[in-house]
Amino acid sequence: MSIAMPAAPLVRIINVWKRRGQNLVLKGVDLDAGRGQVVCLLGPSGAGKSTLLRCINALEVADRGTVEVDGAIIGCAMKDGKLYRMRESEVSRQRADIGMVFQNFNLFPHMSVMDNITDAPMRVRGESRAVARDRAQDLLGRVGLAHKADSFPRHLSGGQQQRIAIARALAMSPKLMLFDEPTSALDPHLVGEVLDVIKDLAATGMTMIIVTHEVQFAREIADVAAIMANGVIIEAGEAKEVLTQPSHPISRAFLARSLREGH
Amino acid sequence: MHDGAGLPRDMAQAPEVLAPAHVGRWFGVLFVGLIGAWILHQLLTNPGFQWLVVAQFMLDRRVLAGIGMTLELTVLVMLIGAVLGIVVAVMRLSADPLLGLCAHAFVWFFRGTPVLIQLVFWYNLASLFPELSIGIPFGGPKFYEISATVAISSFTAALLGLGLNEGAYMAEIIRAGLLSVDPGQGEASKALGHRPFQTFRVIVLPQAMKAIVPPTGNQVIGMLKYTSIASVVSLQELMHSVEDIYNRNFETIPLLIVAALWYLILVTILSVGQAYIEKYYSRGWTNSAPAAA
């Protein structure tokens, strides 16, 4: 439209469809995330939020449509105007630049905290042990667990494990962070410490897409909020508007219920 | 809550919890002691055991050579079994239907036929294929050719028969181990950018080992003794060496004791080794460190 192009969004999700068994879990989803933006995905369970998030790093590959991160189509290659699925080894190169934090932490139980964090930088990026360990120690300090480097995940609380998982993802210096309900598996009194780490991260300008049930948290942190239901985004826009004055009746009902439940 | 809540109480006033009396255990001790005494009495006084002959043949050169062969065969068969097992298990779990079918067929066939038949079959391969060659089948060129009677010795027959069979069993053990690992582990590894083989070798397999080692230890111990079946293709392992000796001097019982004692010694050593390996692969899973504060 104009000659001075606005910076292209870091993430572009364009008309993504996904079928699982008999069900269509994603029915033509479009969503953008600008550089440095925090996008929160909310909505009732079964809406397709996690599936959409997992399409962004190709843990699941969409049946139709494209996901672009930093201008590159994820998990597929365009050839003669047609999309072909990439080989896993090629996808892994793309995934290295996209951090992901899971609901169940998924730390590697057979490795110490330090090895959990340094393994991928050394093995995937080819960093030296010394460099990787230095940065791991920095990151552990940032998430407030500098003294836990030699512990094993099983001996840490859920909140500590999730903070380690965030440090592990950050160790790859990702250009994008994905969070899949990062506090849903935590005891209520441990939720705060994980949310604080995510808030700190948002303040550094990291681009983040967060699937969450914590409406209050989303209000504080999100630039953009998108509400999903039944495989489509029913409402998206500036977080303050969407999360305080939703226009769609389903979003209204969802937000009212979430706030009543004390989230 | 009574009035003194929070105040220290007198420990002597709290009734102590005692273990119940074990009347039955005394009968048990008597019974087991009686059987033990009878076994010991027999071992010491029954002339049929001929302990002197046992002692004389325990370190006999032929017996020691037999042990060497038994160990060599066990190690090689288990190596073949483990490598085949990993390959077949991964094939079976892969999304590729052709690989899955091949793996399934392998396990079906080699687990479904008796080892004895497989051993004798390989030993007699020459009557089915007098010449073994590598090349294009149905009349194509041959790159390498060897007479089957030369290629198949009793050792190679034992290696093939036992190894292929073991591969089928190990495939199932390894498959079960791989399935026991939380799928979230593979996803977390992929999300970090690990390539598929790295995910398998660094994340999934080490965690599967926790479930793979105990039954594999069982297989090794079983195989150590099972190699004695190779005596049917006249391989000079421990059992066959002992048979050779008692076929000549007719001291059957003492020589069987020699073999049994050696198997028992070797199995004991293996069991200790297994315990150490299990401890190694349970890293991060023990409760030794204090729980999180």
Q: How many domains does chain A have?
A: 1
Predicted pLDDT at B291: 42
Number of domains present in the structure of chain B: 1
A151: nearest CB among B188, B195, B289: B289
For residue A124, give its domain range. Answer: 107-174
**Is B234 a domain residue?**
yes
d(CA A182, CA B102): 41
What is the predicted pLDDT for the residue at A2? 45
Domain that holds residue B173: 52-281
- Please report which confidence band the pLDDT of residue A110 belongs to, taking 50, 70 and 90 as the band edges: very high
Task: Say which CATH number the domain at B257 has.
Answer: 1.10.3720.10
CB contact under 8 A, A152 and B202: no
**Which secondary-structure segment (H or E) carries B88?**
helix B61-93
| A263 within some domain | no
Radius of gyration of chain A (CA): 19
pLDDT interval class at B232 (50, 70, 90)? confident
Chain B residues in contact with A104 (beta carbon < 8 A) = 184
Mutate to test the interface with B, among A85, A92, A176 (most CBs of B within 10 A): A92
Q: What percent of chain A has pLDDT over 70?
A: 97
Confirm if A52 and A228 have CB atoms less than 8 A apart. yes
Average pLDDT over residues B15-25: 88
State the maximum Cα–Cα separation within chain A, in Å, rounded to a whole number.
56
Which residue, among B195, B210, B282, B285, would best test binding to A if mutated, counting the most A CBs under 10 Å from its CB? Answer: B195
The SS3 of residue B267 is: helix
Q: Which residue among A108, A124, A156 places its CB closest to the CB of B193?
A: A124
Any CB–CB contact under 8 A between B190 and chain A? yes
Residues of chain A contacting B285 with CB distance shorter than 8 Å: 109-110, 154
Of A221-225, A240-244, B181-185, B289-293, the range with the lowest mean pLDDT is B289-293
Q: Is the pLDDT of residue A148 over 70?
A: yes
Closest Cβ opposite residue A59 in set B190, B202, B290: B190
> Across the interface, do B193 and A120 touch by the CB < 8 Å criterion?
yes
Residue A165 lies in a domain: yes
With CB atoms and an 8 Å threshold, state whether A155 touches B190.
no
Closest CB to B284 among A95, A106, A154: A154
Ramachandran quadrant class, A244 (left: phi over 0; alpha: psi -120 to 50; beta: rest): alpha
Q: What is the pLDDT of residues B24-81, one digit of tens each?
A: 889 999 999 999 999 999 999 998 888 999 999 999 999 999 999 999 999 999 999 9
Residue with tokens 């050839």: A79
Structure confidence by residue, pLDDT tens digits, B118-164:
999 999 888 888 777 777 887 777 778 777 777 778 899 999 999 99
Contact A108/B190, CB-based, under 8 Å?
A: no
